[in-house]
Structure 1
Amino acid sequence: AAVVPMAQAMELPPNDYPTVTRADYVYGCMQANGATREMLEKCSCSIDQIAALLPFSAYEEAETIKSVSMRGGEQVAVLQNPAIQAKVKKLQMAQVEAELKCF
């Protein structure tokens, strides 16, 4: 039997989020909910659930839209487009489902 190196044997799911994105989410979640071991587990569960429901590109796009929307100004008017808001809504739905499963 041939031995396959571990890196080749493991295939990451197509929607796998970068570690820094997962860590940033968990950090923000813990800042909002408490810096305890319990929250570490719940927040980690939450981003894992979101990643299972939403490809990284969709997550990144929705987070960018939310970030720009918070700044205000002329750019925000463009973001009120229903198609753009639907992208944010998908993220919000994934977050709700993650909260129900993890918290």
Structure 2
Amino acid sequence: MALVGSVRRIVAALMVLAAMAVIAHAQDLNDYPTSARVEYVFGCLKANGETRQAIEQCSCSIDVLASLLPYQRYVTAETVLSMSQVRGDMGSPFRTSEQAASALNDLRRAQAEAEVRCF
């Protein structure tokens, strides 16, 4: 009898640990703030037509992007993309550095995957 009680406690503890791991993993995958997701979807809608189908595709796209690219890396790539358009010496580091190119490549790969999955 005591063995059965111990096994039940161990199983219960393992289930709690597994649930905590699932929650932590879900939070890692959902580290994009709502405002960033909405901003992405609005931009996507402008580029793809403001239809119901485009809403579904653009929502899917940001979900795929978020699953492949951590939010901090997304912010870095978006900053590089924006700043690389600045003319002259101010934008030069964002157009020529290896770190900037790497961040942009990560974003473009994630966007390409989202395009394949969602559009």
Q: Does 1:33 align with 2:53?
A: no
Please give the alpha-carbon distance, in whole angstroms, between the structure 2 residues aligned to 1:61 and 1:22.
Answer: 15
Name the residue aligned to 2:68.
53
Please give the alpha-carbon distance, in whole angstroms, between the structure 2 residues aligned to 1:28 and 1:100.
Answer: 18
Q: How many residues are matched?
A: 96
**Runs of 4+ displaced beyond 4 Å:** none
Displacement of 1:32 after TM fit? 0.7
SS at match of 2:85: helix
Please give the alpha-carbon distance, in whole angstroms, between the structure 2 residues aligned to 1:56 and 1:83.
Answer: 16
Report Cα offsets for 1:38-90 as digits up to 9, x if no partner. 00000000000000000000000100010011122212221211222111110
The amino acid across from 1:96 in the alignment is: A
Name the residue aligned to 1:89.
105
Percent pairwise identity:
43
More helix by percentage? 2
Q: TM-score, normalised by structure 1?
A: 0.85
Q: TM-score, normalised by structure 2?
A: 0.74
Question: Root-mean-square deviation (CA), in Å?
Answer: 1.8
Name the residue aligned to 1:75.
90
Match of residue 14, structure 1, among 28, 45, 50: 28
Report Cα offsets for 1:14-51 as digits up to 9, x if no partner. 24200000000000000111001100000000000000
Greater relative contact order (Cα 8 A, min sep 6): structure 1 or 2? 1
Q: Gaps (5+ residues) in structure 2?
A: 1-22
